[in-house]
């Protein structure tokens, strides 16, 4: 995601979010900030050697994988974490319920598909504009190998997002108030593994103790093996 101060006085004065298209694609301009999905910025992290060091890659990796793996990212946001999953070989269904974030994500995915460095990986990423609890409850396909959850934390707690990106998401998105239902909908699909991104010291999602966790300096990936 790229961010810069917007020198758009009209929007700053009105202090309301506006979706704009410029030479770099679609962006949301709000209160002097610009939010844009930008997967190309992550391309160098996907190179062999670096990808394997990504904590999410390690949390999502299966030692003996057979055939193409399938993942559901139930809280897709701007798709940066899904990009890691797709680079790890997953076919990823990205679920996003916020229409503005979904617009930004769709635009980011289209630009990634046109980027020679990302097109193959982007071809494994499929956006579905849906509430993931409803989607997973009605899902009738084969059990996914992996379900990934990264819901927003209540405002007073530390989030896995930081800085302006966090501010923009907090303005757009109500913190997750239904984490029990979200986790239960994921459990009901019986994936091989559920990976949950948390702030390093954050509580477990819905109080469910994971099978193990992979920890970094600021975030933690709780892994539930089923």
Ligand X SMILES: C[S@@+](CC[C@H](N)C(=O)[O-])C[C@H]1O[C@@H](n2cnc3c(N)ncnc32)[C@H](O)[C@@H]1O
Q: How far is residue 37's CA from residue 2's CA, in Å, rounded to a whole number?
A: 7
By CB under 6 A, residue 210 contacts ligand X: no
| Torsion angle of C-alpha atoms 118, 28, 183, 218, degrees rounded to 10 | 70
| Interface residue with ligand X, options 27, 29, 57, 81 (CB under 6 A) | 81
By CB under 6 A, residue 75 contacts ligand X: yes
**Three-class secondary structure of residue 189 per DSSP:** coil
Q: How far is residue 79's CA from residue 83's CA, in Å, rounded to a whole number?
A: 6
Q: Candidates 26-34, 44-52, 89-97, 207-215 — which segment interacts with ligand X by CB under 6 A? A: 89-97
Nearer to ligand X, 98 or 143 (CB): 98
For the window 155-174, what string marks contact with ligand X as x by the rule CB under 6 A? ------x-------x---x-
By CB under 6 A, residue 94 contacts ligand X: no
* DSSP H or E run through 219: strand 219-225
| Torsion angle of C-alpha atoms 104, 107, 112, 115, degrees rounded to 10 | -140
| Interface residue with ligand X, options 36, 42, 97, 111 (CB under 6 A) | 97
The CB-of-67 to ligand X minimum distance in angstroms stands at 25
By CB under 6 A, residue 131 contacts ligand X: yes
The stretches of 67-215 forming alpha helices (DSSP H) are 80-87, 99-113, 119-122, 132-138, 163-172, 179-188
| Interface residue with ligand X, options 29, 46, 72, 78 (CB under 6 A) | 78
By CB under 6 A, residue 40 contacts ligand X: no
The CB-of-161 to ligand X minimum distance in angstroms stands at 5
* Core vs surface per residue 38-58: b (16+ CB within 10 A) or e: bbbebbeebeeeeeeebbbbe
Q: Candidates 20-28, 93-101, 139-147, 201-209 — which segment interacts with ligand X by CB under 6 A? A: 93-101
Q: Candidates 13-21, 97-105, 111-119, 217-225 — which segment interacts with ligand X by CB under 6 A? A: 97-105
126 bridge partner residues: 93
Tell me if 87 sits within 8 A of 51, measured CB to CB.
Answer: yes
Binding site for ligand X (CB under 6 A): 75, 77-81, 95-98, 101, 131-133, 150-152, 161, 169, 173, 176, 182
């Amino acid at each position: 995601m790229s961010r810069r101060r917007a020198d758009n006085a009209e929007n700053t004065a009105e202090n309301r979010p506006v979706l704009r298209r410029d030479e770099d694609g679609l962006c949301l301009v709000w209160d002097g900030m610009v939010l844009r999905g930008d997967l190309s910025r992550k391309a160098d992290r996907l190179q062999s050697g670096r990808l394997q060091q990504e904590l999410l890659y390690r949390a999502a990796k299966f030692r003996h994988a057979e055939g193409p793996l399938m993942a559901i990212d139930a809280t897709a946001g701007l798709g940066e974490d899904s990009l890691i999953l797709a680079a790890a070989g997953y076919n990823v269904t990205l679920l996003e319920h916020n229409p503005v974030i979904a617009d930004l994500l769709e635009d980011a995915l289209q630009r990634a598909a046109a980027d020679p460095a990302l097109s193959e990986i982007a071809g494994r990423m499929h956006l579905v504009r849906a509430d993931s609890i409803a989607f997973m409850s009605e899902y009738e396909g084969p059990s996914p190998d992996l379900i990934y959850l990264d819901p927003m934390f209540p405002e007073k707690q530390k989030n896995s997002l930081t800085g302006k990106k966090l501010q923009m998401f907090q303005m757009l998105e109500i913190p997750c108030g239904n984490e029990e239902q979200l986790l239960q909908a994921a459990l009901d699909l019986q994936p091989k593994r559920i990976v949950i991104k948390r702030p390093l010291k954050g509580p477990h999602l819905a109080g469910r103790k994971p099978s193990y966790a992979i920890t970094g300096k600021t975030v933690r990936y709780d892994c539930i093996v089923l």
